[in-house]
Amino acid sequence: MKIIKPVKLKKRDVIGIISPSSPPDDSSKLSLSVNYFEKQGYRVETAANIGKSVGYLAGTDKERVSDIHKMFLNKKIKMIICLRGGYGAGRLLDKIDYDLIKNNPKIFCGYSDITVLQNAFLKKAGLVSFAGPMAGVDFCKDIRAFTEENFWRTMTTNEPVKIDYPGYERMSSLRKGIANGRLIGGNLSLFSFMIGLKYLPEPKGKILMLEEVSEAPYRIDRMLNQIRLTGYLNKVEGIVLGGFTDCEESDPKKKSLTLAEVFKDYFSKNINVPVLFNLNHGHLRDNLTLPLGIKLRINGNISQLEFLESHFTN
Same-domain status, 31 and 151: yes
Structure confidence by residue, pLDDT tens digits, 16-52? 999 999 999 898 999 999 999 999 999 999 999 999 9
Q: How far apart are CA 109 and CA 116, in angstroms?
A: 12
Q: Does 164 map to a domain? A: no
Same-domain status, 176 and 256: yes
Question: In the sheet that 275-277 helps form, which strands lie side by side, from edge to edge?
Answer: 172-175, 275-277, 238-245, 206-213, 178-187, 295-299, 304-307
Residue 286 belongs to domain spanning: 172-307
Q: Please identify, among 123, 156, 189, the residue that sits at the C-terminal boundary of a domain.
A: 156
Q: Does 95 map to a domain? A: yes
> Considering only CA atoms, which of 94, 87, 90 is closest in space to residue 57?
87
80: CATH: 3.40.50.10740
Same-domain status, 97 and 147: yes
Please identify every residue annotated as catalytic: 112, 211, 283
Report the pLDDT averaged over residues 277-282. Answer: 94
Q: Is 2 exposed, middle or buried (0-12, 13-18, 19+ CB in 10 A)?
A: exposed
Same-domain status, 106 and 178: no
Q: Is the model's pLDDT at 168 over the cut of 70?
A: no
Is 100 within 8 Å of 72 (Cβ atoms)? yes
Q: How far apart are CA 278 and CA 162, in angstroms?
A: 16
* pTM greater than 0.85: yes
Number of domains in the chain: 2
Q: How far apart are CA 81 and CA 84, in angstroms?
A: 9
Q: Are strands 304-307 and 295-299 parallel, antiparallel or unpaired?
A: antiparallel
Same-domain status, 88 and 25: yes
Same-domain status, 191 and 284: yes
> Considering only CA atoms, which of 147, 139, 176, 125 is closest in space to residue 32?
139
Give the model's pLDDT for residue 301: 94
Q: Confidence band (pLDDT; 50, 70, 90) for 166?
A: low
Is 205 within 8 Å of 295 (Cβ atoms)? no
Q: Does 222 map to a domain? A: yes
